[in-house]
Structure 1
Amino acid sequence: MLFILLVRRATLISICLLLLTCTQAPHSQFRVLNSAPVQTTTQLNVETHIRFSKRPVDLVKYPIALGTIGPITPLYAGANRYPFSCDTMRSGLGQPEVDNQEAFGTAVFKEDKDGNITSTIVGYSKDCLARSKLRYFAVSFDGKSFEVTSISQLEEVASKNSLQLIRLEQGTINRHIYTIAMPITVQEHGTWKTSSLWNNKLIYQFAGGVGIGFRQGKVNPTKLLNRRYRELHKGFAVITSSANKTSYTYNMLLAEDTAWRIKRQFEALYGIPEYTIGIGGSGGGLAQYLIAQNSPGLIDAAIPLYSYPDMVSQTIYALDCDLFNTYYHFKSDLAKWESRSKRLAIEGLNNAEIEHKSWFYTPINQLITGQTLYRPKVYSECTHGYFGLSSLVNNPAQGFLKPLFSQTVNQQTNWSYWQDLALITQQKGDLNAPSLWDNQGVQYGLKGLKQGQLSPEEFLHLNYHIGGWKPQAKQQPEQLLFFPFIKTPIWLTQWSRHNIYNADERPAKRTQSNINAIQQAYRYGQIYLGINDIPTIDIHHYLEDQLDMHHISTSFATRLRILQHQGNLKNHRIWIADKHYTPLNEAFAVLDTWLTTKQSPVSASDRCFGEQGEVIAEGKSVWDGEWNNKTKGKCTRHFPIYTNSRIQAGGPWAGSVFKCQRISVREALNKGIYLPIDMTAYREELERTFPDGVCDYNRPDLGNPFSALNGRSDSQPLKSLQAAKSNEQS
C-alpha cells in the first residue's frame, strides 16, 4: 500500500513539473515590454499627519481643453511608478499616445484608414496618455444605457421621455482615466460646457476591488451610468477616475491628488457645486473615510458601502487566514477542525458547510504532501472571502498581473500591495517595500481558550505550529499548473504554504514588521484614525451567511475609532440591510437634507432594514453589542456581528494594533490574561511557544506614532493630532 502511494505521488509530481515547465499563461500584444526609468519629483512632506500638511498650488490651467492631454505627473503624490500597464483600449479611448521610441511601456501600432490596428509599430507608450474627448450615452429609468453614436440614436433619445442623454468627458489626469458625466438636453448635444439640467450637486464615484498598482485601470461608462442612473435622472453630475478604483491601486495619496485635479476640471467647466457626495463600495468605501480624514473639502458627505476602516488594517487579520488553512490542512489533523465552533473560536469570522469552488485543490495537495485524503465540509470566510489574497497582496514574487508584462519586466518587479506603498514606506537602498504585517506574540484562539471552546493542548499546538509569513525578499512564486484551454490553473502550493514558516524543535517563527514603515503609513493617512467631520452613512448588506468578505464588524471597528478620536458620533450613521434591499435612495435624501439645512434630520438615525425595505429598528442603541460592551440592541440581535482572528486573540475591536507590545508569559499569568482557565501548569509550554513574550493589548500599538508616544492605549482617544495641529498653527 505504501509503495502504491509513493508511486502515485511520484507520477503526479512528474506530470505537474512537466506541465509547469511547458505551459505558460498567455501574453497580450499590448503587454508592457520594458519598464521606464524612475523619475524624480516632489512628494508631499509630512511631519505629523498628512491632514495638517499644506498641499502645493496646482499651476495647471483648467479646464484642460478637448483634444489635449491632462497633467501627467502628480502634484504632490510623488514620482510616477513603472512599469505601468495601459487600459485606454479597454476603456473605449483607443490606443494610448506615443511618448517614446525606446520601447518603454506598451507598443502603439499604426491604424489603417478604417481605424483597424495593423502590425506596424509606430512608437511606444510608457504613461498611457489619452487626449480628452466627448462621448454621449443614453440611460433609461431602469438603468439600461447605450452609447449614442448616430443621428438616429439621438432622435430616439429625443422621442422617449424615459431616456436621459449624458455627456461624458474622458481623458487622462495623472495618467489615470477620468470621466465627467453631465445630464444634458438633446439640444445641448455637441456642446462642451452647457449644463441646463444640472441641479448644482455633484457625486464623486469611488470603486472597490483589490489592486496592487502598476495599472492605469479602465473606466466602463456603461457600468458607471448603470450605478448612478437614478441620480443622473435627478440632475446630479458624476465624476470619477480609475485612480479612485482600488482594483487598480490602494495608494491613497495618489487617489487624493488625482481626485482634486478632476474636481478642479469639473469646477472650471461648470462652477462650484452646492455640495459633493462621495459614494463607493469596499475599497471605494474606505477611500472616502481616508480622503475625508486626510484632505478636508474634497467631499462634503460620504456613503461608504461594504467599507473597511482602511486596507492596511484589513490585512492584519486577513493575512492570518492562509496561516490557519495551512495549519488545518498540513500541520494538524484536518478532520479535527471540521468543528464549526472551534473554527469560530480561532478565526472569529463566520463559517458553514458551504463548499468552495476550489475544493479539488485539497486532495491534489494532500497527495503531493503525503497527507491522508480528506475532503473538508466546513469552510469559513477565510476561504470564501480571502481565497488567494496572500498571494496577491503579500507575495512580491507572484504577481497576478504578470500576463500584462514581458518576462523581462516580470523579473525586475516586486508584485505586492506593499510595493504600491513604496514611495511612503520604502527605505533608501531596500529592494522590497516592507510589509506592515506582524504576528509576534499573538495568541491565536485566546478567547476560545478562555471560553472553553479550545483545550489548553489545542491552543498550545496551534500557536506552536502556526508560524508567520517569510520576509518579502525570501518569498517564492506560487506553483501553478496550467492546462490548455482551461482558464483557472491548479494551485499546487495551496494556501501559499511554502512561504509560511514551519516548526521544528522550536516553534514556527513569527513575522516581525517594520515599525518605521507602519509609522509612515499612519502619518501619510493610509490608516484611518477616526477623524469624521462630514455626514457619513455607512451602509452594508448583511452577507455573513454567504461567508462574504464584507462582514459588518468593520463598520463598528470604524465607529470605535471615531469614538476614540473625537468622543462623539454626531456625523456617523450605520445602516445595515437585508441583502435584497439597498437603501441608497433614502441615503441620498437624508444627506441632501443634512447638507442643505446643516442639521442631522431625524431620519438619519442608526437603523436596520428588512427584505422589503421596512425599518426593523432605529435609534442610538440599536447596534449596541459586544463591540461596545453593552447589551445587544434590536438590530444586533437581528443581524449578529462576528469577530475576526485578532479579536479572538484578545485584540481590540477597533482593529488598529499592527505591532503589539509584549510581556513575558510569567507576567501574563500574573495579570490573569488566561482566566478563568488556569494555565499555570502549562507555563513551560507557554514559554517554549512564546519565547519572545505575548501581546498585551492593554498597551498601545508600537507602530502608532500618535498613541504610542503619548502612552495611550488603542482604546483611548487620540488627542495628539489636535496638539500637533495647534503646534503647527502657532
Structure 2
Amino acid sequence: MIKKLILIFLLLVGAGFMLWLYQDVTNEDRHFAVQNTAKSKNNYLLDFKGHISQAIRPTEHFSFPIEIGAIGPSESLYSGPNQYPFYCMSRDSKLGQPEVDNYEALGVPVYDSDKVIGYSKDCGVKTRIDYYTLSKKGSSYIASKVTDVKTAKHTELPLFRVEQGTINRFIYTLIMPIKNTEVDNRRAKSKWNKRLIYQFNGGSGIGFRQGRQKASRVMTRQAQQLLDGYAVISSSGNKTSYTYNMLLAEDTARRVKKQFTSLYGNPLYTVGVGGSGGGLAQYLIAQNSHGILDGLIPLYSYPDMITQTTYALDCDLLNNYFTFRAADKSTWRDWEKRRLIEGMNAINGFPQKGGFLQPINQLMSGFTPSFPKGSSECINGYFGLSAFINNPQQGFIREHYAKHVVDETKWSYWQDMSHVFGIDENGFGLSTWDNVGVQYGLNALKAEKITLDEFLHLNAHIGSWKPQQQMRQEEIVLPFGHKLPIWLTLWGNHNITTPIDEVAPRHVGSIKAMNQAYKSGQVFIGNIDLPVIDARHYLENELDMHHMSASFYSRLRIQDAKGHSRNHVIWVAHKDFDPTKQAFDMMDKWLSKLKSEETLTTITAKPESLKDTCFNKDGSIYGVGEGVFDGQWNNRKEGICQSRFPMFSTSRIEAGGHWAGTMFKCPLISVKKAVEQGIYGKVNIAEHLSTLQRIFPQGVCDYGGRDIGLPNAHITEYLDEKFRQQGVELRMVNKQSNLP
C-alpha cells in the first residue's frame, strides 16, 4: 500500500512539474507585471493619541467632482503614504490600461500595441460614463452594457448611468437609475428614490494591488435595489480581498461618497451592505467615523479581521499537531474530538477538499500515510489563509511582479499595517498574534472529554508560528494553476516552532501593535449607535468559515460598550432563503422614520416588528423576539433559534477565553495559582504540576483579567466616558419609549 502511494506521489509531482514548466497561465500577467517598486512619499496620517473616533478628519483638499476624462486623487486624504509595490488591475475591470505617470520603469508597463510607452505606479484611470441595463434570467439578473448611446436613448429596459474611475488609486463605481431621456445629462436623477447604498465586498487577502471592480458585478449584487430606485456606489478599496487596512478603506469610502454627493446632492440616508469582510468593514467604519453610513446591513459578518486572526492562526497549528505531532494520531482522526479543541465545527465523514495532500505530506515526513475521513471548518474555511496573511515570504499574487520585486517585498497583513503598527528591528511589520499561556483544550479537559495526558501533550507540542524573519515560503507546486495547488509543506509545518526539551516555544505578540490596532480602529470595540441588521445564512453544516457565532461576538462587544444592544438585530436564515430584500425594507422603515423626526433616536425609531429572528427554508419565521438566540454565549437557557441553528465556538473560547473574543494577549498567572483558583475544575492536576510549569514557564492565561494589549490610557478613558454618557442617553431613551 505504501509503495503504491509513493508511486502515486511521484507521478503527481512529476506530472505537476512538467505542466508547471509548460503552462502559460501567467504569461500575460508577466507582460504587465510591476517592474520596480516606487518609493513612498510622506502623506498625512491621522494622529492616534486616543481612539480614532476622536480624531478630527482633515478638510478635503481635492476638488470634487472629478470631471469626465480626469483622474481622481492618487494619494489618500488621511491614511498615510501610498503602499508600493502596487499592481494595476484596470484591465481586469474592463477599463483598459492605466494612465502613464512615469518613465522610470516604476510600476506596470503601459503599451501601445507591443511598444512600452511609459509606466504606471499609481494605476490612475480617467473617469468615464457608460450605460447599462438589467434583465431577468431565471431567478437572477444580468447586467448588460449598452454600447451605443443612441440605443440607450430608445431602450425599453431599465437604464442606469455608470460612472467609473479611480480614487485613492482604487476603482470606484457610481450607479444611478435614469430615464432614457437623461442619457446626455450627467447630473440627471429623476428616477432616484433619494436612498443610497454603499456596497462593501469581502474576501481574504493582503494589499499591494488595486483590485478589480466590474460594473456588471456591482449591479447584479444590488439588482433589486437598483430597480427599486436606489443609487449604488462602491470601490475596489472597499473589498477586503485587496486590503484589510480599515483606515484606508474609510478614507476611500468617504471620498467615493463625496464624488457622489458633489454630483447629486445628499441622500436621505446611506446604508451599507456587504458580506464577510464587507460586513466587518461596515462595523469598523461606523464605529470609527461619522458622515459615511447611516445604517448597516452586514452579511455573514465578523466584528473585525484582526481579532479573528487570534483563533484563525491557531487552525494550522492544531492541524499540524493532529497530523504530525500527536502521541496517538489515531485518536484525533475522530473529527468530533477535534471540535473540542478547535471550537469551530468538525464533522466525521465530511469530504475534505485537498484531502490527498495529507498522505503525500505524511510520506514526506516519514509517517504512515492515511487519508482523512472527515473535515473541519479550520480546514474547509481557513486552509492556506495563515500563509497568505501571516507569512511575509508567501503572498499569493507573485506572478504580478518582477522576481526582484517579489524578493524585496514582505508579503503579509502585518506589512500592510506597518505604517500604523510599526516595524521590528529586521524591518518586518509588528504582529498582534500571541499564544503565550494559552491552554488549548482546557474546557474539554475540565469536562473530562480528553485525558490529562492528551491535554499536556497537546500544549507541550503545539508550538507557534516562528518569528517572521525565520519564515520560509510554502513549498507549493501549481500543475493546474492556482485552483489546484499541491502543498508540500502541509499546515505550514516548516514555519511552526519545534519542541526543545519536549516543549515547543510559543509566540510573543507586539504590545505596541496591539495598542495601535485598538487606537487605529482595526478592532471593533462595540461603540456603535447606528441601526444594524446583521443577517446571515446558517452554514455551520457546510463547514463554511462564516460561522454564526461571529454575529454574537459583535453583540457582546456592543453590550459591553453601550450597556445595551437595542440598535443591533440579528437574523439567521436557512441557507435556501435569502432575507436581504426584507432587511432593506426594514432598514428603510427604520432610517426613514429616524430621519423624518429630529426628536427620535436610533432606538425609538426602530420598527416594533423588527427583532432577532430565524427563518425557515421557505422564508417563514421559526422564532422571533428577545431570547431566541440565548445560549452558552450569554450564559442563558438555550433559545428556540439557538436550538434550531446551533452555534460553535473557537480555539480560544475552548481554552477558557471570552465569547466576545477581544483579548489579544491574556494576563498570566502562575500554574500554582491557577490550580489554587480552580481553573482545572475537578481534574487532579497536583501530580503533574511540574510538567505544567515546564510547558508554561511564564504562567497560564487568566481570562478574568484585562487584555494586556489594550492601551493603558486614552482608549480606556474614552470608553469609560462614552459609557457614562451613554448611560444618561439610555435613561433618556427609556423614558421616551417607556422601556424598563
Shorter chain as denominator, the TM-score bin is: over 0.9
Q: Could you list the per-position Cα deviations for residues 296-326 of structure 1 after superposition, in whole angstroms to 9, with x for gaps in the alignment? A: 2210000000000100011000000000110
Q: Could you list the per-position Cα deviations for residues 548-593 of structure 1 after superposition, in whole angstroms to 9, with x for gaps in the alignment? A: 0000000111100001111111210000000001111211111111
Whether contact under 8 Å (1:181, 1:239) holds in the other structure is yes
- Summarize the Cα distance change of 1:316–1:571 in structure 2 as closer, same or farther, 3 Å threshold: same
Task: Work out which of the residue numbers 274, 281, 291 in structure 2 matches 1:297.
Answer: 291
Residue number in structure 1 paired with 2:336: 341
Task: Work out which of the residue numbers 325, 337, 350 in structure 2 matches 1:331.
Answer: 325
Task: Work out which of the residue numbers 592, 595, 601 in structure 2 matches 1:596.
Answer: 592
Structure 1 CA distance for aligned equivalents of residues 184 and 9 of structure 2: 68
Task: Work out which of the residue numbers 477, 482, 487 in structure 2 matches 1:491.
Answer: 487
Counting aligned pairs with the same residue, the percent is 46
Task: Report whether the alignment pairs 1:140 with 2:173.
Answer: no
3-state secondary structure, aligned to 1:140? strand
Structure 2 CA distance for aligned equivalents of residues 129 and 439 of structure 1: 42
Q: What is the CA distance between 1:344 and its match in structure 2?
A: 1.4
Q: What is the CA distance between 1:692 and its match in structure 2?
A: 1.4
- Summarize the Cα distance change of 1:707–1:572 in structure 2 as closer, same or farther, 3 Å threshold: farther
Q: Could you list the per-position Cα deviations for residues 138-157 of structure 1 after superposition, in whole angstroms to 9, with x for gaps in the alignment? A: 01354222100126753673
Task: Work out which of the residue numbers 300, 305, 316 in structure 1 matches 2:310.
Answer: 316
Task: Report whether the alignment pairs 1:179 with 2:173.
Answer: yes
Moved more, 498-507 or 197-206: 498-507
- Summarize the Cα distance change of 1:236–1:689 in structure 2 as closer, same or farther, 3 Å threshold: same
Task: Report whether the alignment pairs 1:270 with 2:264.
Answer: yes
Whether contact under 8 Å (1:624, 1:631) holds in the other structure is yes
Structure 1 CA distance for aligned equivalents of residues 725 and 81 of structure 2: 28
Alignment of 1:73-472 (within 5 A): 73-110=75-112, 118-140=113-135, 142-150=140-148, 153-154=151-152, 157-158=155-156, 163-332=157-326, 333-352=328-347, 353-427=349-423, 430-472=426-468
- Summarize the Cα distance change of 1:724–1:438 in structure 2 as closer, same or farther, 3 Å threshold: farther
Q: Could you list the per-position Cα deviations for residues 608-666 of structure 1 after superposition, in whole angstroms to 9, with x for gaps in the alignment? A: 00101101111111111111100011111110011110000000000011111111100
Q: What is the CA distance between 1:134 and its match in structure 2?
A: 0.0
Structure 2 CA distance for aligned equivalents of residues 183 and 14 of structure 1: 53
Q: What is the CA distance between 1:484 and its match in structure 2?
A: 6.9
Residue number in structure 2 paired with 1:26: 26
Q: What is the CA distance between 1:13 and its match in structure 2?
A: 12
> Across the two proteins, how many residue pairs are aligned to each other?
709
Structure 2 CA distance for aligned equivalents of residues 708 and 59 of structure 1: 29
- Summarize the Cα distance change of 1:596–1:482 in structure 2 as closer, same or farther, 3 Å threshold: closer
Structure 2 CA distance for aligned equivalents of residues 10 and 223 of structure 1: 40
Task: Report whether the alignment pairs 1:507 with 2:503.
Answer: yes
3-state secondary structure, aligned to 2:653? helix
Q: What is the CA distance between 1:257 and its match in structure 2?
A: 0.6
Task: Work out which of the residue numbers 472, 476, 479 in structure 1 matches 2:475.
Answer: 479
Task: Report whether the alignment pairs 1:607 with 2:613.
Answer: yes
Structure 1 CA distance for aligned equivalents of residues 690 and 424 of structure 2: 42
Residue number in structure 1 paired with 2:691: 685
- Summarize the Cα distance change of 1:194–1:7 in structure 2 as closer, same or farther, 3 Å threshold: closer
Matched AA of 1:130? V
Matched AA of 1:157? T
Residue number in structure 2 paired with 1:113: none
Structure 2 CA distance for aligned equivalents of residues 144 and 15 of structure 1: 43
Whether contact under 8 Å (2:195, 2:267) holds in the other structure is yes
Structure 1 CA distance for aligned equivalents of residues 8 and 644 of structure 2: 50
3-state secondary structure, aligned to 2:132? strand
Q: What is the CA distance between 1:521 and its match in structure 2?
A: 0.8
Structure 2 CA distance for aligned equivalents of residues 503 and 355 of structure 1: 32
Task: Report whether the alignment pairs 1:555 with 2:556.
Answer: no
Task: Report whether the alignment pairs 1:622 with 2:628.
Answer: yes
Residue number in structure 1 paired with 2:583: 587
Structure 2 CA distance for aligned equivalents of residues 371 and 685 of structure 1: 27
Residue number in structure 2 paired with 1:643: 649
TM-score, length of structure 2 as denominator length: 0.92
Q: What is the CA distance between 1:506 and its match in structure 2?
A: 3.8
Q: What is the CA distance between 1:504 and its match in structure 2?
A: 3.3
Whether contact under 8 Å (1:564, 1:718) holds in the other structure is no
CA RMSD of aligned residues (A): 2.5
Q: What is the CA distance between 1:442 and its match in structure 2?
A: 0.2
Alignment of 1:654-673 (within 5 A): 654-673=660-679
Whether contact under 8 Å (1:701, 1:708) holds in the other structure is no
- Summarize the Cα distance change of 1:100–1:724 in structure 2 as closer, same or farther, 3 Å threshold: farther
Matched AA of 1:627? W
Whether contact under 8 Å (1:700, 1:707) holds in the other structure is no
Matched AA of 2:707? D
Structure 2 CA distance for aligned equivalents of residues 574 and 202 of structure 1: 22
Whether contact under 8 Å (2:111, 2:118) holds in the other structure is yes
Matched AA of 1:103? A
- Summarize the Cα distance change of 1:708–1:292 in structure 2 as closer, same or farther, 3 Å threshold: closer
3-state secondary structure, aligned to 1:646? coil
- Summarize the Cα distance change of 1:468–1:633 in structure 2 as closer, same or farther, 3 Å threshold: same
Matched AA of 1:315? T
Q: Could you list the per-position Cα deviations for residues 2-50 of structure 1 after superposition, in whole angstroms to 9, with x for gaps in the alignment? A: 9x89997997999699879968983511111111112112111111100
Structure 2 CA distance for aligned equivalents of residues 611 and 482 of structure 1: 40
- Structure 1: segments with no counterpart, 5+ residues: 111-117, 712-716, 726-730
Moved more, 632-641 or 589-598: 589-598
3-state secondary structure, aligned to 1:195? coil
3-state secondary structure, aligned to 1:177? strand
- Summarize the Cα distance change of 1:7–1:122 in structure 2 as closer, same or farther, 3 Å threshold: closer
Q: What is the CA distance between 1:341 and its match in structure 2?
A: 3.3
Structure 2 CA distance for aligned equivalents of residues 439 and 32 of structure 1: 37
Structure 2 CA distance for aligned equivalents of residues 5 and 428 of structure 1: 48
Matched AA of 1:87? M
3-state secondary structure, aligned to 2:330? helix
Matched AA of 2:148? S
Matched AA of 2:52? I
Whether contact under 8 Å (1:20, 1:481) holds in the other structure is no
TM-score, length of structure 1 as denominator length: 0.93
Alignment of 1:61-80 (within 5 A): 61-80=63-82
Task: Report whether the alignment pairs 1:569 with 2:565.
Answer: yes
Moved more, 437-446 or 370-379: 370-379
Whether contact under 8 Å (1:44, 1:77) holds in the other structure is yes
Q: Could you list the per-position Cα deviations for residues 98-123 of structure 1 after superposition, in whole angstroms to 9, with x for gaps in the alignment? A: 0000000000001xxxxxxx110100
Q: What is the CA distance between 1:488 and its match in structure 2?
A: 2.4
Structure 1 CA distance for aligned equivalents of residues 725 and 511 of structure 2: 21
